[in-house]
Chains A and B, each alone.
Chain A
Amino acid sequence: MRLIPIVGTAVLLAGTALLVNTLRAQDPGQTRQRMIDLGKQHKTAEELYLALKEQAHGGHRLTAGMVPDWSGVWTRARGGITYDPDQKPGAPPTAKLTPEYQAKLMKRIEDADKGIEWDPISTCSPPGHPRWLTEPFLRDFVVTPNQTYLINEMMNDIRRIYTDGRDHIPKEDRYPLYNGDSIGFWDGDKLVIHTNQLHGGIYQRRNPDFTDQAETVEIWQKVKPDLLDVDVWVYDPPALVEPWYTKQAYAKIDDQNKALRIRFWHCGENQNNAVVETEGGGTQFRDFTFDENKPNTTSPTPGVKP
C-alpha cells in the first residue's frame, strides 16, 4: 500500500518533467492548455514549485561565469494593460473565479463601461505582484549568482529573487508585501520562482482582484536574444477555482543609440496628476491648474474645432 503514493508522486514528477521540457516547442494553443493542466495537477503553488525543483534535481546555483545575459532595456511585449496577454479583445479575463470574485469582476467591468472606474494605484501605491508583470513601461533585469533583481521603472519597483538556497521566512512571521517574498532556483537557463506573502490587489483595470493568499510560480527564460518568456501560475483559493496560468513576455528595446534611461519615478511630482476617488467610485482630477492666475475650474473652450 505504501507504494501507491510513492508511485503516484513519481508519476506526477515524471509527468511534470516531461511537460515542462517539451511544451515550449509545441503549438502555442496546445502548450497553453498543457500549462493550465500542469497547474491543476498541483494543489498549491508550493507543490508546483517543489515538483519543478525535484524535476531539476534541486536546481543549481549560478557562478559568475554562468550568469545569463539579460542586459538591456525591456518592456512588456504584448497584452497592453490586460493581465492575460492571450485574453481576446472584448472578452472577459480568462481566470476561473469563485462566484464572489466573479461577481466583483462583473461589477467592475459594468461600472467601467459606464465610465466609473477607480484604480488603487491612483494615489501612488505600487501595483504589486502579480500586477507588476503587466505595467507597460521600461524594465531591466539584473542577474547575479545569488540574487536576481527584476526592476520595473514605474514606482522604482524592484522584485528581489533570492537564488542562494534560502527558504521563505517562517509562516508565523509572514505579513502582506506588495511584491511578496520570492525565492528561486536555476534549471539550466530557466529561472524558477516561487512568491508568497503577497498583498491583495487587482490584476489590472477591468480585471479580477487577488487576495493576500495569492501565491505564484514563474518560469523565466530568454528564448530569443530580444525576448524573455515567462510562464506564470497564480494560486489564490478565495478568488480562483483553479490556478490562473498566463504567458507573459518582455521584449528588449532596440536602443542602439543608448538614449533610453530608467530614471527615478516620483509619482507625486506634478500636482496636475493628482486624482481623487469620487463618491460614486469614479476618478476625477483633484486640483489641477494650467494657469496660476486663472485656475481652470470652469472655462469656455475657444479654438475648439468640432
Chain B
Amino acid sequence: MKSHSVFGIAMAVAMAVLVALAPAVSAHHSATMFEQTKTVTVEGVVKEFQYTNPHSWLLVDVKDQSGKVTTWGFEAEGPSTLQRAGIRPSEFPVGTKVTMTGKPMKDGTPAAVWVLAVRGDGKRFDPREGFRVK
C-alpha cells in the first residue's frame, strides 16, 4: 500500500508538472509574439467563439468607461484539446459575461493567449487542462 501511495503522489506531481509545462499555445506557430511573463485581465461579453484548428479564438467585447467597445481575442488550442478541458462551444454563447486573463501581445494589439476564463456564474475554464493525461 505504501508503495502505491508513493507512486500515486509521484504520478500526481508528474501530471501537475506536465500540465504546467504544457505550452499554452503549442500547435502550429511559436508564441513569441505574446508576452510570456505578463498577464492582462479584461471583462466583457462573448462576441464569437471561433472553434477552429489549429487554434481557437474566443472574441470578447470589452467596453471602456466612455462606452467605446474593443474586441479582444483570446487564443487557445483547437477543438479537441478544448473539449478535453471541458470548453465546448455551448459554454460560451454570444453575450455571455466573462472575465478573461491572458498573456497579451507584445505589440499592444488587443489579443492574448487564453490563460483563464471566468464566466459570470463563476465557472472557470483553463485550456491547459486539455493536455492533462487522465
Contacts and interface: CB of A to CB of B under 8 A. Distances in A.
Residue picked from B30, B40, B71, most chain A C-beta under 10 Å? B30
Contacts, number: 150
7 contacts: A121-B28, A205-B30, A266-B53, A273-B52, A273-B55, A297-B109, A301-B70
Interface size class of A (residues with CB under 8 A): 35 or more
Contacts of A269: 52-53
Nearest to A205: B30
Nearest to A283: B30
Contacts of A294: 71
Interface string B35-65: 0000011111001001011110101001111
A179 B74 CA distance: 33
Given A75-B133, A205-B30, A290 B71 contact: yes
Interface of B: 14, 18, 21-23, 26-30, 32-33, 40-44, 47, 50, 52-55, 57, 59, 62-65, 68, 70-73, 75, 77-81, 83-84, 104, 106, 108-111, 131, 133-134
Contacts of B78: 137, 265
* Nearest 7 Cβ contacts at the A-B interface: A302-B64, A303-B62, A270-B52, A290-B71, A117-B30, A303-B42, A122-B29
Nearest to A301: B110
A72 to B, nearest CB: 12
Contact of B73 (A118, A267, A290): A290
A272 interface: yes
Interface stretch (A17-25, A32-40, A93-101, A256-264): A256-264
Given A302-B63, A305-B40, A80 B84 contact: no
Say whether chain B's binding surface is mostly helix, strand, loop, or mixed: mixed
B14 A78 contact: yes
B28 A267 contact: yes
A77 B133 contact: yes
Contact of A122 (B30, B57, B59, B108): B30
A175 B43 CA distance: 54
A215 interface: no
A119 interface: yes
Contacts of B32: 112, 115-117, 282-283
